[in-house]
Amino acid sequence: MSELFSLRGKTALITGATRGIGLAIAREYGRAGARLAISSESAEDCRRTLSRLAEEGIEAIALPADLACQTQVEALADACLAHFGRLDALVCNAGVAPHLGPLASASDADWELTLTVNLRSALWLSNALLPAMAAQGGGSVVLMASIAGVRGNKGLGLYGLSKAGLAQLARNLAVEWGPANVRVNAISPGVIHTEFARPLTEQPEILQRRLALTPLRRVGRPEEVAALALLLAAPGGAFISGQNLIVDGGTTIGDGN
């Protein structure tokens, strides 16, 4: 393996790591040599994921947490640092989309859950972990945003607002922590073949319309997002910070032809 993509001797915490993009990132980080802490709100899902990773020769620990609860998020950060003694890479991948439809139809509970899990939890984790990263000489943070945060959307407006906030959070934290060699970036996937995207991918008519607007004419794969997340945490990405990197097969630049 090229040293540009090696995470040997590094530690990483990945939220939303039991399926989809988060699991793909955990696999790639583990294969690159990182010691892993994986998290989701389900302890059982975490246990199953540890077993799957172990079968592939990847060792990890599970730190379940409900990211809607600030005390649990802070306890997650404390437990991670207590176990590893340091943290080199943080991936805030967990996200929810409880509301579908016009913004005016979103309830207060929809707003609270979406903004807390998708945005505030990333800030809570960053506030808890970036000082330790800075003290050890640097590190990397990857915030999982979405192309829903870079353009208007009739059905996912609330989700898009939270993801646009994540991209801005990456820019702000990159400026604040850059002098301490802490790099912060966002990744904005398009439609990726995951359980999260099933409401779209399992409706052929809707999917075909979407693919017609995507120059590559296909849905993305989780590992294609994970590869970028690996670059951002590895030496090869050491001069990338404050960016919102789009992985969408060209959807956001397509002209519909």
Which residue type does 137 have?
G
Token digits of residue 44: 């059982």
DSSP lists the bridge partners of residue 139 as 182
Q: What is the rounded CA–CA span in Å between residue 31 and residue 106?
A: 41
Torsions phi, psi for 61 (to 5 deg): -115, 155
Look at residues 172, 171, 167, 187 and name the one whose alpha carbon lies nearest to residue 246.
187
Per-residue burial over 204-240, b = 16 or more CB atoms within 10 Å of its CB, e = otherwise: eeeeeebbebbeeeebbebeebbbbbbbbbbeebeee
- Collapsed DSSP state (helix, strand, coil) of residue 186: strand
Residues 6+ apart with CB under 8 A from 191: 197, 200, 201, 207, 210, 214, 219, 220, 248, 251
Q: What is the rounded CA–CA span in Å between residue 153 and residue 89?
A: 31
Q: List active site positions.
A: 159
